[in-house]
Structure 1
Amino acid sequence: MSDPARLHARDLVIRRGATPTVEEIRSGEIVGLAGLDGHGQERFLETLAGLQKPLAGAVSLERGGSETRITDFRKAVAAHVAYLPRDRRATGIFPTQSVLDNFAISTVSEDARFGFISAGQRARRYEVYRDRLSIAAPRPDAAITTLSGGNQQKVLLARALALKPDVLLLNDPTRGVDVATRHVLYDVFRDLARDGMALVVLSSEIEEILLLCHRVLVFRDHDIVANLQGPAMTTDAVIAAMFGRAA
């Protein structure tokens, strides 16, 4: 990406009594979020995506010397911040729609020609991401529910990438997928970071975060209690921070 972007969280408070958070997620960085369930990491991610409103502070995207404040999900998408939800069945896929429709629903305008939708253009766009993510689907017009869980997840990721984001927010992206799909996704995430995208990955698996991320923010009681990177990124250190103990 020729114009690197940075996602800022300034004096962000996501729950009453929590310490204001100041964070910067930079282009080319994969940042992991860890913590016990309900300790704020998911709310923090959803706040970055404009899905939750903070009690105080602000989220903004900086690019090329200008900054866009993210106050809701529409503004996040307009600022090129994409979000992949945790529960693909409840909040991700449209189960009555085809694979192609699920892919293209967020980028309909990309396929418009003279006021009409170009089926050929839509199909060509899908083929690019199908190949890139190794999506195994019988036909683009097949119902998305005919796909395995891992391939449904790849279609959702393709939908997010079709937005051409500068920042990709991933809520437990390998949950419920097989080992082979998991490693395909890891390779894609690393490639995206190498190309300059900023990624934030919430994962319920510490080993995944340590394998994939450049640094990890550990949450406890809706506060970031540790920011670990390099040699400090160990399973023991993450668990100790999660439980409020010294490593």
Structure 2
Amino acid sequence: MPDDALTLDVRNLSLRKGASAFSQAIRPGEIVGLAGLDGHGQERFLEVLSGLKEPVAGDVVLDRAGRRTTVTSFRTAVANGIAYLPRDRRATGIFPTQSVLDNFAISTVERDARFGLINTQSRRQRYDVYRQRLSIVAPRPDAAITTLSGGNQQKVLLARALALEPGVLLLNDPTRGVDVATRHVLYDVFRDLARDGMALVILSSEIEEILLLCGRVLVFRDDEIAAEMTGEAMTTESVIAAMFGRAA
């Protein structure tokens, strides 16, 4: 693992008034899955981790080699190594009037600015690295992002997140609405990132996807963690049972 790998510590977190608090540690190289019926807290938890929403109580703390930073906003999260991929790429992800390249580079503009001007060559070179890594199929960088398939739009958004060089990647239903081939490309990328020491948290509406990708799953019910599973305990039946408050 890299010496500066990030651990995400969740301390006595409560997602709503009256809900039980919980603590979790998401470590470098770990892929943690979030499951639950819609509206039961797993999406709010992911948004709290990203700094987009505040918890009722508790803290989210980033630990990098003993240096601790509390996540108090989305800006703080991004500045300290968290990247977030939103669920609805059309509503909250892409900028539909902009090009593929502009959509990719919008989060890293300062890296390309020199004396107040954008270094287009530097921007394109960085885009090419991620285009190849993620197998993005696009006619050219200056093409409108809306000319790409849904799967390739999603890859551009993932490339944008990875260009921040995060230590923690938060993924909100990352394969929603993409084809099977794109799914498997994304799966391979996620596994490679974890092997390189990144911590990943994946919310998925598909239980099978969580079981395939994740080493640990947190099942939410009524804004609380109803179950935590690893290894052989992670089965479709046990996840569904926890979602509905039943014994497996």
- TM-score above 0.5, yes or no: yes
SS at match of 2:197: coil
Matched with 1:57 is 58
Matched with 1:237 is 238
Distance (Å, rounded) in 2 between the aligned partners of 1:149 and 1:102: 14
Counterpart residue identity of residue 83, structure 2: A
Distance (Å, rounded) in 1 between the aligned partners of 2:211 and 2:53: 27
Distance (Å, rounded) in 2 between the aligned partners of 1:204 and 1:148: 21
CA drift at 1:38:
0.4
Counterpart residue identity of residue 93, structure 1: I
Conservation of the 8 A alpha-carbon contact between 2:103 and 2:145: yes
2:195 matches 1:227: no
Matched with 1:186 is 187
> 5 Å matches for 1:58-207?
58-207=59-208
Distance (Å, rounded) in 2 between the aligned partners of 1:148 and 1:175: 13
Conservation of the 8 A alpha-carbon contact between 2:3 and 2:65: no
Distance (Å, rounded) in 2 between the aligned partners of 1:107 and 1:140: 16
- CA deviations on 1:51-96 (whole Å, 9 max, x unpaired) are 0001100111000111011011000001110000000000000000
Structure 2 unpaired stretches of 5+? none
Distance (Å, rounded) in 1 between the aligned partners of 2:186 and 2:117: 34
SS at match of 1:217: strand
Distance (Å, rounded) in 2 between the aligned partners of 1:28 and 1:131: 23
Distance (Å, rounded) in 1 between the aligned partners of 2:3 and 2:134: 24
CA drift at 1:4:
2.1
Matched with 2:39 is 38
Conservation of the 8 A alpha-carbon contact between 2:42 and 2:220: yes
Distance (Å, rounded) in 2 between the aligned partners of 1:144 and 1:30: 29
Matched with 2:247 is 246
Distance (Å, rounded) in 1 between the aligned partners of 2:197 and 2:118: 31
CA drift at 1:30:
0.1
Normalised TM-score (structure 1): 0.99
Counterpart residue identity of residue 197, structure 2: G
Counterpart residue identity of residue 74, structure 2: F
Distance (Å, rounded) in 2 between the aligned partners of 1:145 and 1:5: 34
CA drift at 1:115:
3.1
CA RMSD of aligned residues (A): 0.6
Distance (Å, rounded) in 2 between the aligned partners of 1:108 and 1:219: 37
SS at match of 1:51: coil
Structure 1 unpaired stretches of 5+? none
Normalised TM-score (structure 2): 0.99
Distance (Å, rounded) in 1 between the aligned partners of 2:67 and 2:234: 33
CA drift at 1:113:
2.4
CA drift at 1:207:
0.2
Distance (Å, rounded) in 1 between the aligned partners of 2:235 and 2:71: 33
CA drift at 1:225:
0.9
